[in-house]
Amino acid sequence: MTIPMCMLLGYLVVTFCVGLTSSKHSKNTKEFFIAEKNLTTPLIITMLFSELIAGAGTIGNAAIAFRQGLNSVWANWGMALGCILFVLLVAKFFRAMSCVKGAISTPEAYAAFFDNRSRIVMLFNITIVYFILYSTQAVAAAAILTPLFGGDETLITWLITALFIGATLFGGMKGIAKMNAVHALVMFIGMLIVALKSLQSVGGISGLHEALPASYFSFIQPDLPTVIAQVIGTAIGFLASANVVSATFSAKSFSSVRRGVSIAGLLVVPFALMPTVIGLCARITLPEIQANNALFAMANNLGGVYGGLVSMAIIAAIFSTAPALLLIVCTTLTKDLYKGFIHKQGSEQQQMRFSRLMAILIGIAGTLFGRQAGPIMNQMLGAFQIRSVVGLILVIALYWPRVTKDAAFYSMLVGGIVASIWHFTGNPFQLAPLWPSIAVALIILVVLTIRNKGKESAGYKAYLDALQEFNELEDCEEKSKNK
């Protein structure tokens, strides 16, 4: 058995044990979906950081760096910017909706601000986006594990899918958060060591400049509009990111939200450079390999220990992300489809049964889709841009009191449809989905809003009342005591 195999097996055993000790049979949806609002700042940081650095994005970063250069960092840097914007612009809104209105899912918060039509739009938006993101995970993990352990890649893909489903079913939000603390540490340290060793092996930064074309050191690839769309689309999308919103709902206090989300975002900035550097070094050292193999091939070329470290880091990124994505889809389908429309009087026990059934079905369907989808990084970037429309509309509505529920609904609906069609038809005219979707959404939003003669919409007034009540409370703790 090779060194990477031994290291990876050991890591999987350790994380499996952590998962078992952290797992707890959830008695209700609040415990299962948002950990009964008990996550501390350190758990928020490690959970979000490890979820943001998905395995697909890590492998994709190195692959883009191998093919094009430094522009591979933009997807992750867009996430970092998105975390900061989230804290500055909408964190208090979501926390207030959770504490005062009892929202557990992102669509529930939108329904409290706008109406149930917007809730339906968000239901489909989140389901589609997070289904796409989840679909890349098992395929990415199998691409790493198959060369190491041998065997049939299809079989390994389905075994990994089973592990994802199991972690979601038995861990819930709190179990996932505790496992992600281990994953985050392994990811950061392992990738840093391999990146530094890779850079040393090619003669440092000067060695990169001597061996690679000047275009590899340009951040503007393939063109400025595409880069702006990737960054802005990703950042704006984080304003309605169900990962970050779930952390906001699950945090012990609002101060934990602000600190946790901000620090997690800032940690993404240096981390994004690590797989990028490894991809650049692979281009020099192993120019004949396939781009998607750059990360592991370069590490393994340095020696077995380095191959083991990067394998552990990639698997940590994947295993920290997939169950969280699956849980988000289950939360949305349970609270906003089943409880919201199918069975409004559904008990906690019935909701838990439905959510577990969805974890199995969506887990399987996601892997089937992922095996047929295109390049993993393209799927991620497209998903972020589909999500960006609803985040932008929310921010505008929070700071432009005249925005009505009709204006919000139709702009989110049409903008989301345009973004989805644009993404799934392969970006016609080489134009990223962000631009046509936001253009259409803003036109609809402005036209319908200026027809409202009032200074404040009914939804905005309801939000101000909720915000006032939230500000008068000692965060959610006092609200629960009053109940």
Tell me the per-residue pLDDT of 243-271, one tens digit each, with 9 for 90 and over.
899 999 999 999 999 999 999 999 999 99
Contact (CB, 8 A) for 340 and 254: no
Q: Residue 120 corresponds to which tokens in the numbers above?
A: 């339906």
Specify the pTM.
0.86
Q: Which fold has domain 3-376?
A: Sodium/glucose cotransporter (1.20.1730)
Contact (CB, 8 A) for 364 and 376: no
pLDDT of res. 275: 94
How far, in Å, CA of 138 to CA of 154, rounded? Answer: 10
Residue 152's CB is within 10 A of a number of other CB atoms, namely 10
Average per-residue pLDDT for the chain: 87
Q: What percent of the chain has pLDDT above 70?
A: 92
Across 36-54, average pLDDT: 89
Which stretch of 50-64, 75-89, 303-317, 403-417 has the lowest confidence by average pLDDT? 50-64
How far, in Å, CA of 230 to CA of 195, rounded? Answer: 24
Helices (H), 202-216: 204-211
**Best CA proximity match to 311, nearest among 462, 145, 185, 461:** 145
Domain boundaries defined on the chain: 3-376
Tell me the per-residue pLDDT of 216-229, one tens digit each, with 9 for 90 and over.
998 887 778 778 87
483: pLDDT strictly greater than 50: no
How far, in Å, CA of 347 to CA of 267, rounded? Answer: 40
Q: What is the DSSP letter of 39?
A: B
Residues present in the chain in total? 483
